[in-house]
Amino acid sequence: MDVIGHCGIYIGDGEFIHASSGSGYCVKTSTLLSGSYYNRYATARRLI
């Protein structure tokens, strides 16, 4: 069973913002369309 260990907020055009867990611990923008987050994406919910 996989566990979810990170979350972010989708901001459109395949991009999301999230708190970096690497050096510097900053808020950054990353893509969901390629790279490591593309392979690890689990689910999303729409809140209105």
pLDDT of residue 31: 93
Return the higher-pLDDT residue of 19 and 21.
19
Token pair, residue 45, equals: 């919910």
**DSSP-derived secondary structure letter, 40:** H
Return the higher-pLDDT residue of 18 and 4.
18
CA pair distance 38, 4, nearest whole angstrom:
14
Global model pTM greater than 0.85? no
Token pair, residue 23, equals: 């050096």
CA pair distance 45, 35, nearest whole angstrom:
22
Smallest Cα–Cα separation from 9: which of 40, 25, 35, 30?
30
Residue 44 has pLDDT above 70, yes or no: yes
Over the stretch 21-38, which tens digit does the pLDDT of each residue have?
Answer: 777 778 989 999 998 888
